[in-house]
Amino acid sequence: MNSITLTQPDDWHVHLRDGKALARTVPDIAKQFSRVICMPNLVPPVKTVDEAIAYRQRIMQHAPEGSAFDPRMVLYFTDHTPASEVQKIKESAHVNAIKLYPAGATTNSDSGVSDIRKVYAVLEQLEKHQVPLLLHGEVTHSHVDIFDREKKFLDDVLFPVIQQFPELKIVLEHITTSDAAHFVLEQKQNVAATITPQHLLFNRNDLLVGGIKPHFYCLPILKRQSHQTTLLEVATSGNPQFFLGTDSAPHAQHTKENACGCAGCYSAVTAIEFYAQAFDQVGRIERLEGFASHFGADFYGLPRNTAQITLVKEDHIVPERLDYLDDQSIVPLYAGKTLQWKKV
């Protein structure tokens, strides 16, 4: 197959940042996707529906003219989020979910939930109103190995939550392990997962062999090849519990290439091509449309897009660098390397 036409895809997990960064991130992601779930871990975080709507207005100032770009907003879950805010999410036209970061788990997550048992009253309202809970699924205890933090979260945090709130809609975001994939498979359809392009295409050898590659560093961190293989299996299986979420996150080159490099991969400029390459590598390119365009919309209870895009099998090179902010640059994921699929 040398070309494929898909329903316009959506990205159910992206970081756009704020302020001047939006001039870079919004046009990039809008060229690839229609709806995007915008992560709320700004400084300060987006904690209320009113703050989310204000953030959306700032994003839309940078949307390409005439595009169907539709940012969908998320609240940042804290220990002090009032249960009453859930009703406001349910009534909002543009806010769709609430995001739980375990405190200290990733970029700008210091205000996250310190103990999920503290917010059970909010989870009860989320279950009642069928508002999705989005989870960064890692524990943050310093004694837990970084490669084991996802599984530890499943066992110690998520399993008890599902036992307590069996109808709660949950998205376990950017899963990285076979443990997480099998955990989702064992749940009902109200539990789903997003998968990033980097976790489908790469593993920890790409990060570590021959020297540390800072632009492959993300959280949750890349895992073994065996986990990568399982993620490819479930992503390309046609199971609607798995759908696209890039976790694309901009970091200036100098903040990645230093002694304490930031976690995050910027995939926005070639995201759908990355996924096409991953699906094609395992001979399942025909299943990309469900994963990229249908299953996420269905889970969120939103209509599927009606526009279409076409991808052709044609080599092209990922840009080496992208302009960012005033005088900085971003090194995108797989910079300078060749992809076999191209959006036309």
Q: What is the pLDDT of residue 102?
A: 85
Mean pLDDT of the chain: 96
Which CATH number covers residue 202? 3.20.20.140
In angstroms, the CA 294 to CA 144 distance is 36
Annotated active-site residue in 18, 247, 298, 326: 247
Question: Three-state DSSP class for 343?
Answer: strand
Q: How confident is the model at residue 106 (pLDDT cuts 50, 70, 90)?
A: low
- Cβ-count burial of 325 within 10 angstroms (0-12 exposed, 13-18 middle, 19+ buried)? middle
Q: What is the pLDDT of residue 310?
A: 98
Q: Give Cα separations from 290 to 80, 238, 294 (angstroms).
A: 37, 7, 5
What percent of the chain is modeled with pLDDT above 70? 98
Instruction: Consult the annotation and say whether 207 binds a ligand.
Output: no
235 pLDDT more than 70:
yes
Instruction: Consult the annotation and say whether 75 binds a ligand.
Output: no
Instruction: Consult the annotation and say whether 99 binds a ligand.
Output: yes
Q: What is the pLDDT of residue 112?
A: 82
- Catalytic residue at 323? no
Complete edge-to-edge strand list for the sheet that includes strand 11-14: 11-14, 35-38, 70-76, 95-100, 133-136, 170-173, 191-195, 242-244
Tens digit of each residue's pLDDT (9 = 90 or more) over 295-335: 999 999 999 999 999 999 999 999 999 999 989 999 999 99
Instruction: Consult the annotation and say whether 224 binds a ligand.
Output: no
pTM for the model: 0.96
Q: How confident is the model at residue 136 (pLDDT cuts 50, 70, 90)?
A: very high
203 pLDDT more than 70:
yes
Q: What is the pLDDT of residue 104?
A: 63
Instruction: Consult the annotation and say whether 254 binds a ligand.
Output: no
Instruction: Consult the annotation and say whether 13 binds a ligand.
Output: yes
Instruction: Consult the annotation and say whether 316 binds a ligand.
Output: no
Q: How confident is the model at residue 88 (pLDDT cuts 50, 70, 90)?
A: very high
Q: How confident is the model at residue 212 (pLDDT cuts 50, 70, 90)?
A: very high
Q: How confident is the model at residue 261 (pLDDT cuts 50, 70, 90)?
A: confident
- Cβ-count burial of 263 within 10 angstroms (0-12 exposed, 13-18 middle, 19+ buried)? middle
Q: What is the pLDDT of residue 107?
A: 61
Q: Give Cα separations from 151 to 134, 148, 242, 261 (angstroms).
A: 17, 6, 18, 24
**Looking at the 3D structure of the chain, how many domains does it have?**
1
In angstroms, the CA 184 to CA 116 distance is 19
Q: How confident is the model at residue 1 (pLDDT cuts 50, 70, 90)?
A: confident
Q: How confident is the model at residue 111 (pLDDT cuts 50, 70, 90)?
A: confident
105 pLDDT more than 80:
no
Question: Three-state DSSP class for 27?
Answer: helix
In angstroms, the CA 67 to CA 27 distance is 10
- Write out the residue range of the structural domain in which residue 238 sits: 3-343
